[in-house]
Structure 1
Amino acid sequence: MSTELVQLVEQTGPYLSAAVTAYGAAVLTRAQDAAVDATANLGQRIIQTVWHRRRRSDQAALTVALEEAAAEPESAEAAVDLRRQIERALREDDRLREDVAAMLPPAPQVVITATGERSIAAQNIGTVINGDNTTVQR
């Protein structure tokens, strides 16, 4: 699976969770409510868009995953199943992937700056040792 697809699915996660928590399985049929949190509304739009672009058999699988996630909002497994259904749809339909990506707010840009002698600019790399005569014991 491409890194781009993984990132897209990860970006949709909070919106899907918010929509399922706010609306439950009715997320597919509920009209948007302006008073409801924007995150839940965006999640609802994503789920509805994916559902409407799937074949009937795929719609049924998505509906089951959605109902399970709504019935067990604390279940990590149910949330993963729902995300897998969304991921499958996005992997199989390039146009859908573009449409969902366009719905999401831009990802925050991460800027890492290193200044000064021996500075290191990095993100999520683990242990870094920078210096003279350093001994590391494990």
Structure 2
Amino acid sequence: MGAEIVQLAEQAGPYLLTAVSSYGAGVLTRAEDAAVEATANLGRRILQAVWHRRGEQGRAELEAAVQDVADDPEDGDAAAALRQQIKRALREDVELRGELTGILSAAGAGPVNVKASGKRSIAAQTIGTAITGDNVTLRP
């Protein structure tokens, strides 16, 4: 499997899970709702793009994977199965790869490279509070 496909599926993953958590299994046919969080709408757009390009069997498999995530959003195996469906679709459809790359790029969801080096260094894309060092005391 190409690195590009794996990277696209990993980038899309959080958006897919948010969309399914927000919309449930109806994510594949739901129209965009301006009041819904941008992340869920992005995931919905990705899932719909994949769904519309699949044949009957591919759609049924994707629908089953989406339903499994909708039934239990905390199930890591269900989320992995959904990502696998996306990877399969990307492997089989070069045009879909370009479409998803465009969707993710337009949303500013490009690849993020974070590098940490040195003793006790940390790396994070987003972080609230990070504390390193010995004998740290936090006071409100």
- Normalised by the length of structure 1, the TM-score is 0.77
Q: Measured at CA, do residues 111 and 86 of structure 1 come closer, stay the same or move farther in structure 2, by a change above 3 Å?
A: closer
Q: Which position in structure 2 is the counterpart of 1:52?
A: 52
Q: Which runs of 5+ in 2 are unaligned?
A: 124-140
CA offset at residue 107 of structure 1?
2.1
Match of 1:28?
Answer: 28
What's the RMSD between the two structures over aligned residues?
Answer: 2.1
Answer 1 or 2: higher relative contact order, Cα 8 Å, separation at least 6: 2
In the other structure, the counterpart of 1:132 is none
| CA distance in 2 between partners of 1:62 and 1:102 (Å) | 21
C-alpha distance in structure 2 between counterparts of 1:77 and 1:23, whole Å = 19
Deviations 1:53-104 (A, max 9, x none): 0000110010011101100111000001111111100010000010001000
Query: Distance in 2 between the 1:111 and 1:97 partners?
Result: 24
Distance 1:108 1:67, change over 3 A: closer
- Retained in 1: the 8 A contact 2:15–2:42? yes
Which ranges in structure 1 are unaligned for 5 or more consecutive residues?
125-138
Shift of the 6–108 alpha-carbon distance from structure 1 to 2, 3 Å rule, reads closer
The aligned length equals: 116
Residue correspondence of structure 1 range 107-122 to structure 2 within 5 A: 107=110, 110=113
Equivalent position of 2:103 in the other structure: 103
2:64 aligned partner, one-letter code: V
Q: Which residue of 1 aligns with 2:11?
A: 11
Which residue is equivalent to 1:133? none
SS at match of 1:35: coil
Letter in 2 for 1:60: A
The 3 A distance-change label for structure 1 pair 89 and 31 is same
Give the percent of matched residue pairs that are identical in Structure 1 and Structure 2.
Answer: 54
Report the Cα distance in structure 2 between the residues aligned to 1:16 and 1:111, rounded to whole angstroms. Answer: 23
Q: Which amino acid aligns with 1:20?
A: V
- TM-score (structure 2 length as normaliser): 0.76
Q: Which has the larger radius of gyration?
A: 1
Deviations, residues 14-68 of structure 1 (Å, cap 9, x unaligned) = 1001100000101012111101100000000000010000000110010011101
Give the 3 Å change call, closer, same or farther, for CA 35–110 of structure 1 in structure 2.
Answer: same
Change (3 A) 1:79 1:111: closer
